[in-house]
Structure 1
Amino acid sequence: GIDGLADAPRSGRPPIYTPADRATVTAWACQLPAEQQVPLSRWSTPELAAHLRAGGIAASVSTVRRWLAADALKPWQHQSWIFMRDPDFEAKAAVVLDLYARTYQHSPLGADEYVISADEKPSIQARDRCHRTQAGGPRRPVRVNHDYRRRGALAYLAAYDVHHGQVFGRCEPSTGITAFTALVDQVMTAEPYASAKRVFFIVDNGSSHRGQVAIDR
C-alpha cells in the first residue's frame, strides 16, 4: 500500500564528536588552566577551544560554548572568599547585620535613628586627556584620546545612608584621621543627622577610623 512509499529508517549523519570529547571539555572547564599546564588564570571559551584543538578535539568556539551552557559551566567567572581569622567575627558581624535590618540590641531603630556606611578610596589618579573627547554620531562611537597627563592623586571618601539612599562624598589630598573626621563632620552637620537621636557609623578596620583615637575625635 501507500505505506510502502515511506522512507526506511536512516541513521543520519554520523556524530562529529564522541561522548568522550564532550566529557573532556567538561573536565577541562572544571579544572584550573594551570592543572593543564596552561598559563592562564581562568578559562575563556576561545582559549578553552584553542587548547582543546591542540589536544586533538577540533571543536569550534560556538560548539564549546553550547556544551558549557548545557552544563551551566562558566569557567571565566570567579568569586572571592576569605578565611575569617577573628574568633569574634560572628558576634561583630551580627551587630552590623542587625543595623542593616534597622535593629540594635534587639530593638528596632526609631524614625530619628540612622545608619551610615562609610569608607575611603586612596590614590585615585586625576588625569587630563591631551585632546578633547569627541561626541558620537551616526555609526560613530564617542572617541576618547588615548594620551593623558597626570594631575596627581586624590583620596575619595564617601558615606552612604543605607536606608534612605543619601550619599555624601568628598575629595581630600590623602586619607587619614583628619580627612575621615571631615567626612563625619560633613554628615553630622547636615539634617536630619544633626538633630537625630542616634547615628550609627559602620566602618572597616582601617587605621583612619579604628581605635580610641578615632572614637575620641
Structure 2
Amino acid sequence: MRRRGPALEPLLLSDEERATLTWWARRASSAQALALRARIVLACDGPDVPSIVGVARELGITADTVRKWRRRFLAERLDGLVDEPRPGRPPTIAVDEIEAVVVATLEEIPKNATHWSRSSMAARSGLSKSTVGRIWRKFQLKPHLVGTFKLSTDPLFIEKVHDVIGLYFDPPEGAVVLSVDEKSQIQALDRSQPVLPMMPGMPERRTHDYVRNGLTTLFAAFDTSSGKVITSLHRRHRAAEFKKFLVKIDREVPDGLDIHLICDNYGTHKTPAIRAWLAQHPRFHMHFTPTGSSWINQVERWFGFLTDQMIRRGAHKNVQALERDIRAWIKNWNEDPKPFTWTKTANEILDSLARFCRRISGAGH
C-alpha cells in the first residue's frame, strides 16, 4: 500500500482573486510565465483539493512546478505570482510598477518608434534601464526581436492537414510514404579569398564577399518510416525534371508497394504531362499540402539538415564540385538514416492555429 503524504491545505479563491487570475490567464498579451502561474492556481482552486499530479498532468507541466506556485500563492496570494522573492536586500520596486512595465511592453507602442527599447521604457516608467532589463528577462519579453508567420488561405486547409498527418500517424499497409520537394537554386559559392581555419581562441574566418559559380536543383523524396532519401540533381527545375524524378522513384521503390507522395502545390507537380504519367502508374498517389504550409512536409526539415551541415558554409569553385559534395553527404545520410518523429495530431495542429488566430487582430473567425 502506497504511503500518503500530508494532507494539502485547501486553496480557496475570493471572487476578486478568481477574476484577476482568469484575466491574467486569458488575456492574449499576458506574459507566458504569469499566465501559466494563474492557470496553476485556478486549477488548484476548490475545497476538494485537486491532486498535485492531476493538475500537473492537465497543464502539461511538472508536479514540482504546481507545488511551488500553489505554495507561493497560499503564502503571498496574488503578489506571490508576480515576482519571486530574492535573497538579500528587499526589493525596492513595487508590484504595481512591475506590472505597469509588463503591460506597457505588451499593449503599447512608444512614440516615434516601432517597439520599446530599455531607454524608452525607462523614460516612460521612471525606472532605470537595468531595472527594465531585469523585468523583461524575468517575464521573457524581447521587444527587439520579431518572428515571421504566414497563415494558409487554402480553402481545403483542414482536409489537407488531416490527409497528410494521417499518412504520418497511420500509413497505409503495403505502401511507402514519401515526402517530396525540390530545393532549387542551390548556389555553388566560392569565397574571394581562402578560408582561414579555426584556431584556439579564434573562430573560422572567411571573407564576406563571394563568387557565384552556378546553380543546381536537388529533388528529394524522404521516406517517413525509414528516413532514407531518394534524390536526383538537375540543372533545371521544370516538369520534365520532376517527371524524370518520378521515374527514378518508380524504379527504386520495390514492386508491389503503393507509393504515396506528399508534395506542395508547385505548378510543375500538376502539369498535364505529370497527370498523364501518374494515370499510367496507378501505384502512385498524390497528397498535396495546404498552400503556404511547407512546415507540414517532412522533407523540408531534412533540407534544413543538408543546408546547415554542408551547403551554408561550403565553398565550391563550380557546380560539379557542389553536386559531388551533395551526393557524398546524401550517401553518408542513407548509410545511417534517421526518420523524424511527428508528434502533433491534426486536431492538435488545428486547435493551436485556432488559438493563434484569435490572438491576431482582424484575423476573422
TM-score, length of structure 1 as denominator length: 0.71
Counterpart in the other structure of 1:214: 274
Higher Cα Rg: structure 1 or 2? 1
Is the partner of 1:136 in helix, strand or coil? Answer: coil
Structure 2 runs not aligned, ≥5 long: 1-88, 278-365
Aligned: 1:113 with 2:189: no
Give the percent of matched residue pairs that are identical in Structure 1 and Structure 2. 22
Show CA shifts across 1:68-116 (max 9, x none): 3433545536362415341x3322322212111134xxxxx22x41101
- What is the letter of the counterpart of residue 183 of structure 2? K
- Is the Cα contact below 8 Å between 1:114 and 1:196 reproduced in 2? no
In structure 1, the gaps of 5 or more residues are 1-11, 104-108
Q: Decide which structure has greater helix share.
A: 2
- Residue 196 of structure 1 and its aligned partner are, at CA, apart by 4.3
RMSD after superposition: 2.9
Task: Find the partner of 2:226 among 161, 164, 168.
Answer: 164
Counterpart Cα distance in 1 of 2:256 and 2:128: 64
Supply the distance in 2 between the matched residues of 1:135 and 1:149 (Cα, whole angstroms).
19
1:90 aligned residue (158, 179, 189)? 158
Contact kept in structure 1, 2:239 and 2:271, CA below 8 Å: no
Give the aligned partner of residue 359 of structure 2.
none
Q: Give me the whole-angstrom Cα distance separating, in 2, the residues matched to 1:129 and 1:84.
A: 41
Amino acid corresponding to residue 28 of structure 1 in structure 2? A
* Distance in structure 1 (CA, Å) of the matches to 2:198 and 2:207: 13
* Higher strand proportion: 1
AA in 2 matched with 1:149 = V
- 2:99 aligned with 1:23, yes or no? yes
Give SS of 1:68's match: helix
What is the aligned counterpart of 1:183 among 233, 241, 245?
A: 245
After superposition, the C-alpha distances for 1:107-151 in whole angstroms (9 at most, x for unaligned) are xx22x4110111123333331111221211111111112221122
3-state SS in 2 of match to 1:93: helix
User: Is residue 52 of structure 1 aligned with residue 121 of structure 2?
Assistant: yes
TM-score by length of 2: 0.45
CA distance in 2, matches of 1:212, 1:123: 24
CA distance in 2, matches of 1:175, 1:31: 46
Which of 149, 152, 167 aligns to 1:99? It is 167
Match for residue 70 of structure 1?
138
Output the CA distance in 1 between the equivalents of 2:149 and 2:106: 17
